[in-house]
Amino acid sequence: MKIIISNASSDPIYVQILNQIRQSILSGELHAGEILPSIRQLSKDLQVSVITTKRVYEELEKEKLIDSVVGKGCFVSGANKDFIREQRMKLLEEKMIEIIRESKDLSMSQQDLIDHITLLFEEEQTP
């Protein structure tokens, strides 16, 4: 897991951390059941307040992305696969929309885009 905090960003620090951990979970970089660093360890590594990291974990728990087990720590939630899939689909859709807009700028037709994607899809599948 990689987290980068920028002082230049207008987002509060806790939002920056939250977004990046959420991203790591939704992208599948962090797998279900994987343990997250403890609140205090993370706060030390990022040199931020313990309360900041605590707030991030509480928020992630509310979003059902992580489970906290008293005395053991926080784990990436596995129970809610559908939810995660849904979230990831949303992210994918955002990217698709971006691609569609980009292709329009390049004056590609819908069919052109589909053909192109099919081609790339096949290339990806052949090892």
Partner 1 sequence: MNAIELRNLTKTYPQFTVDNVSLDVKKGYITGLIGPNGVGKSTLIKMMLGMIRPDSGSIKILGRDMPKDEVDIKQDIGIVSDDCFYYEHLTIRDSKKMIAPFYKKWNEKKFNRYLEQFELSPNKKIQDLSKGMKVKFSLAVALSQEAQLLIMDEPTSGLDPVFRREILDLLADIMQDESNSILFSTHITTDLDQIADYIAFINRGKLVFNEVKDEVLERFAIVKGDSQLLDSDIRKKFVGIRETAVGFEGMVDNRQEAELLFGNYVVFDKPSLEEIMYFTAKGGRIHA
* Interface positions with partner 1 (CB under 8 A): 10, 12-14, 40-41, 43-44, 47-52, 55
Tell the smallest beta-carbon distance from residue 33 to partner 1 (Å): 24
Tell the smallest beta-carbon distance from residue 92 to partner 1 (Å): 32
Tell the smallest beta-carbon distance from residue 107 to partner 1 (Å): 36
Q: How many CB atoms lie within 10 A of CB 54?
A: 15
Query: Which of residues 47 and 107 has its CB atom nearest to partner 1 in the complex?
Result: 47
The identity of residue 17, as a single letter, is: I
